[in-house]
């Protein structure tokens, strides 16, 4: 009896992992109806009789993003909100533009694995494994190189060149979302107590207060 319970428990765990991603479509497509007031896990399907080729089309990914900011970085995301035909297909795309020495700072995608391809430039990239090892896997990438960042792991991309850099990322979710670590920690609303942050980062409270003002 105990072995049967253990087997069922293991089976449940395996099945939960198997479906722990965007759900598979049950029809040819489910173009998002962004005007629907109905709230669902994802986006409501538009009546297929009213679907047009424009629902599967996005224009403008050839245009550079504005990198005039502190990080020298810009992302142009094409997800189901931008391209309705992506709804339920479990995939999205992003153009990443970098100024010289631009940085996409440490962040994570809670719902997606990312595949990053270098179009122009040279990048130092990497991701960190979960506790307790926190092992860094990093690599210098050149034009045409590809690197994968596993789902949920903290990762970064840094343009090491003195010229602009460009990359394209494919993400395994129609809504991968992003959590930028520094923003989440020092820019939360309401703010996390400086007592907590000072202890977590082993810093004095004045330093924590200063860091919070930077965001």
Report CA dihedral (69, 74, 79, 85) to the nearest 10 degrees: 120
Q: Degrees (nearest 5) of the Cα angle 65, 69, 75? A: 35
Main-chain phi, psi angles of 136, to 5 degrees: -90, 125
Q: Binding site residues for Mn(2+), as ranges?
A: 107, 109, 114, 155
pLDDT confidence of residue 30: 87
Give the tens place of pLDDT for each residue, 24-82: 777 888 899 888 888 877 788 899 999 999 999 999 999 999 999 999 999 999 999 99
Q: Binding site residues, as ranges?
A: 104, 107, 109, 114, 155
Taken in order of first residue, the domains within the chain and their CATH numbers are: 21-58+70-177 (2.60.120.10), 179-214 (no CATH)
H or E segment and range at residue 157: strand 154-159
pLDDT confidence of residue 28: 85
Question: Is 169:202 a contact under the CB 8 Å cutoff?
Answer: no
pLDDT of residue 190 exceeding 80: yes
Prediction pTM value = 0.84
- Mean per-residue pLDDT over the chain, rounded: 89
Residue with tokens 């005039």: 68
Residue with tokens 């400086």: 194
Per-position b or e across 26-46, b if 16+ CB within 10 A of its CB:
eeebbbbbeeeeeeeeebbbb
Rounded average pLDDT over 9-21: 42
Q: Binding site residues for oxalate, as ranges?
A: 104, 109, 114
Give the tens place of pLDDT for each residue, 83-123: 999 999 999 999 999 999 999 999 999 999 999 999 999 99
Question: Is 198:186 a contact under the CB 8 Å cutoff?
Answer: no
């Amino acid at each position: 009896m105990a072995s049967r319970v253990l087997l069922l428990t293991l089976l449940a765990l395996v099945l939960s992992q198997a479906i722990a991603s965007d759900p598979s479509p049950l029809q040819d497509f489910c173009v998002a109806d962004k005007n629907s007031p109905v709230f669902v896990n994802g986006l409501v399907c538009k009546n297929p009789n009213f679907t047009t080729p424009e629902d599967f089309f996005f224009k403008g990914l050839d245009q550079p993003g504005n990198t005039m900011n502190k990080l020298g970085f810009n992302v142009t995301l094409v997800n189901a909100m931008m391209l309705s035909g992506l709804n339920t297909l479990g995939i999205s795309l992003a153009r990443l533009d970098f100024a010289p020495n631009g940085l996409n700072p440490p962040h994570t995608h809670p719902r997606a694995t990312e595949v990053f391809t270098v179009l122009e430039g040279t990048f130092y990239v990497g991701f960190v494994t979960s506790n307790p090892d926190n092992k860094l896997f990093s690599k210098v990438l050149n034009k045409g190189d590809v690197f994968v960042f596993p789902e949920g792991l903290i990762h970064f991309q840094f343009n090491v060149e003195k010229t602009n850099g460009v990359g394209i990322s494919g993400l395994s979710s129609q809504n991968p979302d992003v959590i930028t670590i520094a923003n989440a920690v020092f820019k939360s609303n309401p703010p996390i107590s400086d007592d907590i942050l000072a202890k977590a980062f082993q810093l004095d409270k004045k330093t924590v207060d200063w860091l919070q003002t930077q965001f």
